[in-house]
């Protein structure tokens, strides 16, 4: 480890104030020595010169160390880079201007970054619309394309020419055109009333007007008004979406998902988490539905790929679409998140996942059907576990409470501020306390009852009731799906086991008065036996298969109305509507308190660079390649190699199986141009970039804006990062681009794709 790294790992554990005081003392003394004004006099001129040289060395180490102590925190808005970030970026070594990153008149890096599938990020890496993202981001699309005979998830796939690229039904990618600040217009439109429904209608009206003005007659653009800083600021976000997206290739799961659940959210990491797609457009390069007449998309900008590798303290920048953070979260919400949201998620998903995994291991068809469902569930399940653990370790509740105390003292110091912000925290606390019971009930409804696929199918495909379904803001959104798509990935026996387990758990945790009506049927007609009820439910319902559903839809509609699964789904929907309506009184109070609290924080910290919470809009984060020390006596290096893959290999554990061809390449050291200078094959590396869910697949770029990797995970010690940034511990885990190209080329045999890339060596 270099001297600066040692200094960093030691100093970071100290209180910043103490470090600054000590550093000031040493700097003052060293400067005096260097100037010859120090009281320390050494007769021997050579010795005196050596002291000066030593002083220079120590001075440089201290200055460097202080620089590395700066928290590279922030998910920054691209239009504000020139004002808030570019000078600091230059200080740590970036060679980019603000316009190189975001420019609405000329091509810039933002034009090479896209929102992938609505929940991930990707980047364009060729002039023919070749797209790189994570394996887990493409997972659902790859799973849909797979069959037991052609299992692209398990075995991987590479198209060797354009006509072998596979259309990915339902997959879209979205480009950012520009941001427009519309705070003034929106604020004026909604400030006339405080009544929630009237404000909502006014917001919709002004949003529609602003959108029409922004996009004009351009049918390919879309606009939406997005809230920032808790409704204290608004931007119009203008985008363009492409829907003809084709699967180009990905490694087998033994590489793309190496380590699976065990290694998820962990470092050291050895996962080749990447996949490639291609965007197609019409002859004029505009968005178009799938057609054999479409051609590869020609981007405004694509990223140059760097094979130069990474070193400790190298500048690193990430641009992407982070989903949600809550960095202004109060202590009351921390408690609610830990004790309600996370606790219920951990319990219920754990029960369901055990059922799914047992069936997936026993049958290849079920494994393929439930691979994406299981991965989506387990990812946040493990994150919830880690979040609760780090909440406690980092004393997040206490730290938030201390911030609230500071805020309250600042408010109370000025009568005008008391008038304006005096009730902010009280309103938030009152709303959180008031909604606690409802949050528990709704969370169990969503995690347990809404996870039973049979009743979900009835909700999707059954006749709809022509009644107001109530406020479904807490409902899990359903992805549009045809019966054929649904039943392709549905196993009756597995769902029956899930239903028995989750209905029993729900009954145990939720009071009788808050259970849906079908629990009365369980008691009256099945003597309280949930197993017997489930057996009858699955026997009698037409929603167990596509064939039965089709027959029912063409038959007697009264018969369909009496379907037990449809009745159960309506019981659940009615209960959700009722509880969501009760929750509304707390939503408006919370929103008002949160808005005032954030507005007060912004005023209290006026003059400081502050970023808004993530909300699935494009953001930039910058920092460095950096190792870290999770606990005393332990330091994690910033890079992993193929050596670690071989060390983790376990042929008896599906999570750590290593393909024979990869072992052969390792044995012969056939790494080509992708090896490190010492001959090893890099796999992943760490940066201290500030990311969250939605950043998966984001490009990690060097000082010149060249692609050096793709972000795919965070480390275990930073699981509370959506709420609080911990600079000494938070790390972003990235696939090294050299490993990506090595697997594509040497392992997958798709080296021809290199011909369309721009590579810097």
Closest residue by Cα to residue 401 from 379, 377, 428 = 428
Q: Is the dihedral of CA 135, 139, 141, 145 positive or negative?
A: positive
Torsion over CA: 537, 539, 544, 547 (sign): negative
**Pair of tokens at residue 541:** 């319902």
Residues making up the chain, counted from first to last = 761
User: Quick one: tokens of 243?
Assistant: 């829907």
Q: Give the catalytic positions in this structure.
A: 136, 273, 696
> How do beta strands 244-250 and 166-167 pair?
antiparallel
Nearest residue to 732 (alpha-carbon basis) of 718, 708, 713: 713
User: Quick one: 40 exposed, middle or buried, by C-beta within 10 A (0-12, 13-18, 19+)?
Assistant: exposed
- Whether residue 266 is preceded by a cis peptide bond, meaning omega within 30 degrees of 0, is no
**∠ at Cα 320 (683, 184), nearest 5°?**
165
φ/ψ of 606, rounded to 5, equals -55, 135
CB distance 759 to 304 below 8 Å = yes
Please tell me the distance from the alpha carbon of residue 556 to that of residue 563, in angstroms, as a whole number. 11
Q: Report which DSSP code applies to 491.
A: -
Alpha-carbon distances, residue 334 vs 203, 396, 723, 725 (angstroms): 30, 8, 8, 14
Give the C-alpha distances (Å, rounded to integers) separating 632 from 69, 599, 629: 18, 39, 7
CA torsion through residues 198, 203, 209, 211, sign: negative
The Cα–Cα gap between 152 and 252 comes to: 7
Sign of CA dihedral 446, 451, 455, 458: positive
Q: Residue 451: CB partners within 8 Å, gap ≥ 6?
A: 348, 352, 498, 502
Contact 424, 446 (CB under 8 A): no
Strand partners, 236: 180, 225
288: which 2 tokens? 């178009």
Structure tokens at 122: 């990707």
DSSP H or E run through 710: strand 707-714
By C-alpha distance, which of 285, 291, 214, 198 is closest to 246?
291
């Amino acid at each position: 480890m270099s001297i600066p790294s040692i200094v960093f790992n030691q100093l970071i554990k100290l209180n910043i104030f103490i470090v600054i005081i000590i550093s000031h003392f040493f700097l003052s003394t060293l400067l005096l020595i260097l100037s010859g004004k120090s009281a320390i006099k050494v007769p021997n001129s050579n010795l005196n010169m050596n002291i000066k040289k030593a002083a220079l060395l120590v001075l440089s180490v201290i200055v460097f160390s202080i620089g590395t102590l700066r928290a590279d925190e922030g998910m920054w808005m691209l239009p504000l880079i020139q004002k808030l970030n570019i000078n600091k970026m230059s200080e740590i070594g970036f060679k980019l201007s603000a316009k190189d990153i975001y420019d609405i008149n000329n091509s810039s890096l933002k034009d090479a970054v896209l929102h992938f599938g609505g929940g991930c990020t990707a980047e364009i890496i060729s002039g023919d619309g070749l797209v790189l993202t994570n394996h887990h981001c493409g997972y659902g699309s790859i799973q849909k394309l797979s069959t037991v005979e052609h299992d692209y998830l398990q075995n991987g796939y590479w198209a060797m020419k354009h006509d072998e690229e596979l259309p990915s039904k339902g997959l879209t990618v979205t480009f950012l055109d520009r941001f427009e600040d519309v705070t003034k217009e929106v604020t004026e439109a909604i400030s006339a009333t405080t009544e929630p429904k009237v404000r909502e209608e006014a917001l919709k009206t002004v949003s529609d007007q602003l959108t029409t003005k922004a996009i004009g007659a351009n049918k390919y653009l879309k606009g939406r008004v997005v809230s920032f800083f808790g409704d204290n600021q608004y931007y119009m976000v203008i985008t363009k979406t492409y829907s003809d997206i084709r699967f180009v290739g990905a490694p087998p799961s033994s590489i793309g998902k190496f380590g699976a659940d065990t290694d998820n959210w962990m470092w050291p990491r050895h996962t080749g988490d990447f996949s490639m797609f291609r965007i197609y457009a019409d002859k004029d390069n505009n968005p178009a539905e799938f057609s054999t007449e479409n051609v590869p998309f020609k981007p405004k900008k694509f990223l140059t790929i760097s094979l130069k590798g990474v070193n400790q303290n190298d500048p690193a920048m990430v641009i992407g679409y982070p989903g949600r953070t809550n960095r202004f979260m109060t202590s009351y919400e921390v408690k609610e998140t830990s004790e309600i949201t996370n606790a219920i998620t951990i319990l219920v998903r754990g029960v369901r996942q055990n059922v799914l995994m047992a069936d997936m291991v026993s049958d290849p068809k079920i494994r393929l059907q439930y691979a994406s469902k299981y991965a989506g569930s387990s990812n946040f399940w493990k994150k919830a576990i880690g979040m609760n653990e780090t909440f406690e370790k980092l004393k997040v509740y206490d730290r938030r409470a201390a911030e609230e105390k500071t805020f309250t003292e600042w408010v109370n110091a000025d009568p005008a501020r008391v008038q304006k912000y005096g009730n902010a925290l009280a309103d938030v606390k009152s709303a959180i306390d008031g909604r606690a019971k409802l949050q528990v009930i709704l969370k169990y409804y969503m995690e347990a009852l809404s996870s039973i696929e049979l009743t979900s199918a009835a909700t999707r495909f059954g006749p709809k009731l022509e009644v107001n379904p109530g406020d479904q803001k807490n409902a899990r959104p359903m992805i549009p799906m045809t019966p054929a798509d649904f039943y392709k990935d549905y196993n009756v026996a597995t769902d029956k086991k899930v239903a028995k387990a989750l209905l029993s758990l729900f009954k145990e945790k939720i009071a009788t008065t808050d259970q849906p009506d079908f629990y009365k049927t369980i008691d009256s007609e099945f003597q309280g036996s949930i197993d017997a009820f489930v057996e009858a439910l699955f026997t009698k319902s037409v929603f167990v298969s596509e064939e039965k559903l089709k027959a029912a839809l063409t038959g007697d509609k009264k018969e369909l109305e009496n379907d037990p699964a449809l009745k159960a789904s309506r019981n659940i929907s009615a209960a959700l509507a009722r509880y969501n309506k009760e929750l509304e009184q707390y939503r408006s109070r919370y929103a008002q308190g949160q808005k005032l609290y954030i507005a007060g924080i912004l005023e209290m910290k006026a003059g400081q660079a502050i970023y808004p919470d993530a909300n699935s809009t494009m953001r930039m984060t910058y920092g460095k390649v950096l190792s870290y020390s999770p606990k005393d006596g332990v330091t994690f290096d910033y890079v992993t190699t193929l050596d670690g893959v071989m060390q983790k290999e376990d042929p008896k554990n599906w999570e750590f199986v290593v393909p024979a061809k990869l072992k052969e390449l390792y044995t012969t050291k056939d790494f080509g141009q992708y090896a490190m200078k010492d001959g090893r094959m890099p796999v992943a590396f760490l940066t201290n970039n500030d990311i969250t869910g939605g950043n998966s697949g984001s490009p990690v770029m060097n000082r010149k804006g060249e692609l050096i990797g793709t972000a795919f995970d965070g480390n275990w010690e930073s699981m509370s990062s959506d709420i609080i940034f911990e600079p000494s511990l938070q790390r972003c885990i990235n696939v090294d681009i050299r490993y990506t190209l090595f697997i594509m080329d040497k392992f997958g045999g798709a080296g021809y794709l290199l011909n369309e890339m721009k590579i810097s060596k």
